[in-house]
Amino acid sequence: MYVDACHTPSSSHILRVSFTNRFVVVAHFAPNQTRRKMRKTTFLTRKLREVSFLSRGLLSTRHVVLAHLIPMRRCNLACGYCNEYDHSSSPVPVEVIKRRVDKLAELGTSIITISGGEPMMHPELDEIVHHIRLRGMIAGLISNGYYFTPERIRRLNKAGLEYLQISIDNVDPDEVSRKSLRVLDKKLGYLSEYADFHVNINSVIGGGIKNPEDALTVARRAVELGFSSTVGVIHDNDGTLKPLSPKEKDIFQQVKKVGNKDHARLNWFQDSIAEGKPYNWRCRAGARYLYICEEGLVHWCSQQRGYPGIPLEEYTMVDFDREYNTEKWCAPTCTLQCVHQVGILDNWRDPQKTPAQIAAEQEKKETVGEMIRVE
């Protein structure tokens, strides 16, 4: 009798037990089955961590929920609508990024999403991901998808990446965007086969995207490959809030049905944006959500760089409280999904004040303080 493992033409692993030269199949371990089991365990662990971070976010307002961290401004593409890339900058040294991760851990951050530019161009991306996990935070990545190979995916699995988002703008590349299904489909196939992390494919409607029906094709392909799918409604090219056309609205509703139901539930604001109407909410950027640029400065978000513009290493809970309580003038027309989602945790509590009201209150306090000191 002997026992061995072999590959069938379909690459299945079959454990063979032989008695007098007759093979009896006693167990059948397809790699896909093993991978599915492993993915299920990873999925459950990830969900438990999410629930625990969510409860913590609801119970306490005194920590950062989500930070976007930029280790690399450089990008291999040049999308027509994008103001977040260059073609010449160097990667931020990994030790500097690790210190920023440590500081974010001190601020109680639950999730760090690495973004760019194109973060896959950073030579030590795996080390950054690993460091985020070492510090007990959820590690996510936003990428244009161009650099995924089986080997790179395995390395990211090993580093502990938990979430990946790829935005796909169209089916065929054009002068505005090369983040196209036709170009990326092979990479999506690799991800479907090898990634242990969750993959979300985001498609886009509005903003002058030529063929709105492409969003539906992208969403269907994403679901077919076992990914989740979300859709973003964006402003027109001039930044104004215009309603989607009837055709775009129809496709938007169809894409929402194909995609992630939780996401659709969390993005009521998109229905207002689709109708061209402002949305009333409390943006907690600078507090519950932070955007850390390649220079290590804290900004409200990618679209409001410069406010407050304080170095992360000097950021304190005084800054956090000020920004938490500051009403953002850009909130009614904001389309940044992740900041909206973080905002849901606190929309029902702690009304905000305008910067002018906060400054007036501060001045009043200082005047009273001076009077007391004089007396």
- Report the interface residues with ligand SF4, using CB under 6 A: 75, 77-79, 82, 84-85, 116-118, 144, 179, 283, 285, 300-301, 303-304, 328, 330-331, 334, 336, 339
Backbone phi and psi for residue 148, each to the nearest 5 degrees, phi listed first: -80, 125
Task: Kindly state the smallest distance separating residue 237's Cβ from ligand SF4, in Å.
Answer: 15
Task: Kindly state the smallest distance separating residue 187's Cβ from ligand SF4, in Å.
Answer: 13
* Paired residues of 299 in beta bridges: 291, 308
* Paired residues of 166 in beta bridges: 143, 201
> What is the torsion angle, in degrees rounded to the nearest 10, for the CA atoms of residue 345, residue 346, residue 347 and residue 353?
-150
Whole-angstrom distance, CA of residue 232 vs CA of residue 274:
10
Task: Kindly state the smallest distance separating residue 355's Cβ from ligand SF4, in Å.
Answer: 12
> What is the torsion angle, in degrees rounded to the nearest 10, for the CA atoms of residue 267, residue 80, residue 227 and residue 113?
-70
Nearest Cα residue to 127 out of 96, 149, 83: 96
Q: Which C-beta is closer to ligand SF4: that of 100 or that of 282?
A: 282
Q: Which C-beta is closer to ligand SF4: that of 101 or that of 285?
A: 285
Whole-angstrom distance, CA of residue 190 vs CA of residue 152:
10
Q: Which C-beta is closer to ligand SF4: that of 4 or that of 175?
A: 175
Task: Kindly state the smallest distance separating residue 76's Cβ from ligand SF4, in Å.
Answer: 7
Q: Which C-beta is closer to ligand SF4: that of 128 or that of 283?
A: 283
256 to each of 17, 193, 232, 293, 332, how far by Cα in Å?
50, 25, 10, 31, 22
Task: Kindly state the smallest distance separating residue 224's Cβ from ligand SF4, in Å.
Answer: 23
Q: Which two tokens mark 88?
A: 């010449």
Task: Kindly state the smallest distance separating residue 126's Cβ from ligand SF4, in Å.
Answer: 20
Nearest Cα residue to 350 out of 315, 323, 317, 310: 323
Task: Kindly state the smallest distance separating residue 179's Cβ from ligand SF4, in Å.
Answer: 6
Q: Which C-beta is closer to ligand SF4: that of 236 or that of 250?
A: 236
Task: Kindly state the smallest distance separating residue 354's Cβ from ligand SF4, in Å.
Answer: 13
Q: Give the position of tokens 């590690």.
A: 139
Nearest Cα residue to 6 out of 27, 21, 22: 27
Q: Which C-beta is closer to ligand SF4: that of 196 or that of 200?
A: 200
Q: Which C-beta is closer to ligand SF4: that of 263 or that of 328?
A: 328
> What is the torsion angle, in degrees rounded to the nearest 10, for the CA atoms of residue 106, residue 112, residue 118 and residue 122?
50
Q: Which C-beta is closer to ligand SF4: that of 14 or that of 183?
A: 183
